[in-house]
Amino acid sequence: MKIFASHDDAGNIHAVAIPGDELEGEMSVDPEPGEHVSELDIDFIAGEKRHEFLSDLMRNYRVERSSPKPDSARLVKKSH
């Protein structure tokens, strides 16, 4: 499934949006100045565990971009 993530230059995720998500309403990611929006493909967990899954994603992963294009990104596990 595709998601959009707003993140800083270091890849720290600040917000996530899921296209076509009826439960969350309209999709929007409004990046702050200096942030980027990247499109990511993920294995998505639906249902009750969704918020837990997205919180874990934001806490334990970062976005790595190979170019400025929004679709050039991938998730990388943070080394805490």
* 61, β-bridge pairs: 77
- Amino acid at residue number 9: D
The two structure tokens encoding residue 68: 């400025």
Which residues span the domain enclosing 18? 2-77
pTM confidence score: 0.76
Per-residue H/E/C for the chain: CEEEEEECCCCEEEEEECCCCCCCCCCCCCCCCCCEEEEEECCCCCHHHHHHHHHHHHHHEEEEECCCCHHHEEEEECCC
**Residue pLDDT tens, the chain, 80 long:** 788 899 999 999 998 887 765 445 445 677 888 888 888 888 766 666 777 888 888 899 999 988 777 667 899 999 87
Give how many domains the chain has, as a whole number: 1
